Amino acid sequence: MSIELTDIRAGYGGFMLDQVTATIKAGELTALIGPNGCGKSTLLKTIARQLPLSAGTVRISGRDTAREPTKAIARQVAVLPQHPVVPPGISVGQLVGYGRAPHQNLFGVRSRTDQEKIEAALEAVAIADLRDRMVSELSGGQRQRAFLAMCVAQDTPYVLLDEPTSFLDIKYQYEVLELTETLHAAGKTIVAVLHDIGHAARFATNLVVMKDGRLYATGTPNQILTPELVEQVYGLRTRVYADPVTGSKMVSPVPNMQPSLGHETARTMCVGLD
């Protein structure tokens, strides 16, 4: 029970994932991190089979996804896209109900199990009271929870989240991350692309660090998160220290004291305004 990636090549046009081999163990909350354009979202989409593979294999629970019907994969893996489409005139209850599609026939006839799973999902993300509201009228945080509930209703062992906290206020960011943690505690295997190293260190049990389309490092946050790694991957000098309350690792940039650089920047600004 795990996601196994073997020698994967994939990607849009010019950019390719380059020979990525990795195993994402079942039961972990894995965070994919790395600088912009390193291929972390591409990797997530490749696992979800939303991008075609040029070479290599993706096995989920031992089965090659390239040979599985889309519906069979959808019973294994739920995905929260980075920018979910908000369909007009659809209520939260209806949206969450769509999560049951992989378990239903062509016409979406609901069984009693479907109904129960939908209720459970609404309860799990605490949006049962929003059931009859239109999705298009929700705030950003509520909307993200509605889509998360849809993933929960899908009732899959694996959940993939593509930057679930982007464009959310700090309060909603933590709300979504805590929900993710709850899902993980309930036994799901979760892979999330995260932008913020601090979030990843605090919530993930496993980190996958990427750079230039390749796998750079894997391990628990406490093992691998060091100033050297951050500087090598992001090109930024940082200090890494433990959060006084939670004990999880925090990253903060080292202030740059070199006066000549500051001078240089000021001159560049003048040129830019010219």
Q: Is 271 in the site for another protein (CB under 8 A)?
A: no
In the complex, least distance from residue 274 CB atom to another protein, rounded to whole angstroms = 13
In the complex, the smallest distance separating the C-beta of residue 12 from another protein, rounded to whole angstroms, is: 8
Contact positions with another protein (CB under 8 A) in 119-148: 134, 136
Contact between residue 51 and residue 42 where contact means Cβ atoms under 8 Å apart: yes
Residue 91 binds another protein, judged by CB under 8 A? yes
> Does residue 53 touch another protein according to CB under 8 A?
no
Establish if 16 lies at the interface with another protein (CB under 8 A).
no
Q: Which two tokens stand for residue 267?
A: 């001159």
Binding mask 55-74 for another protein (x = CB under 8 A): --------------xxxxxx
8 A C-beta contact, residue 215 and residue 193: no
For residues 131 and 142, is the Cβ–Cβ distance under 8 A? Answer: no
Binder to another protein among 29, 32, 53, 78 (CB under 8 A)? 78
Q: Which two tokens stand for residue 135?
A: 């999705």
Minimal distance in Å, beta carbon 16 to another protein? 15
Residue 88 touches another protein, criterion: CB under 8 A = yes
Of 50, 220, 252, 265, which lies in the binding site for another protein, with binding defined by CB under 8 A?
Answer: 50
CB-based contacts of 8: which residues, under 8 Å, 6+ apart?
Answer: 17, 19, 20, 21, 43, 46, 53, 55, 56, 57, 58
Write each residue from 202 to 241 as x if it is in contact with another protein (CB under 8 A), else as -, in one continuous string.
----------------------------------------
d(CA 218, CA 242): 20
User: What distance lies between CA 262 and its chain's CA centroid?
Assistant: 37
* Structural tokens at position 265: 């920047």
Strand partners, 59: 4, 64
Q: Considering the rule CB under 8 A, would residue 15 count as an interface residue with another protein? A: no
DSSP labels, 27-59:
T-EEEEE-STTSSHHHHHHHHTTSS-EEEEEEE
DSSP 160-227: EEESTTTT--HHHHHHHHHHHHHHHHTT-EEEEE-S-HHHHHHH-SEEEEEETTEEEEEE-HHHH--H
Question: Residue 134 or residue 250: which is nearer to another protein going by CB?
Answer: 134
Nearest approach, Cβ of 253 to another protein (angstroms)?
Answer: 26
Binding residues for another protein restricted to 20-49, rule: CB under 8 A: 45, 48-49
- Nearer CB in complex with another protein: 107/245: 107
Question: How many residues can be counted in the chain?
Answer: 274
x/- contact string, 149-188, with another protein (CB under 8 A)? -----x----------------------------------
Q: Per rule CB under 8 A, is residue 79 in the interface with another protein? A: yes
For residue 207, the surrounding DSSP H or E stretch is: strand 206-211
Residue numbers of the site for another protein (CB under 8 A)? 12-13, 45, 48-50, 69-75, 77-79, 81, 83-91, 94, 98-99, 101-102, 104, 106-108, 134, 136, 154
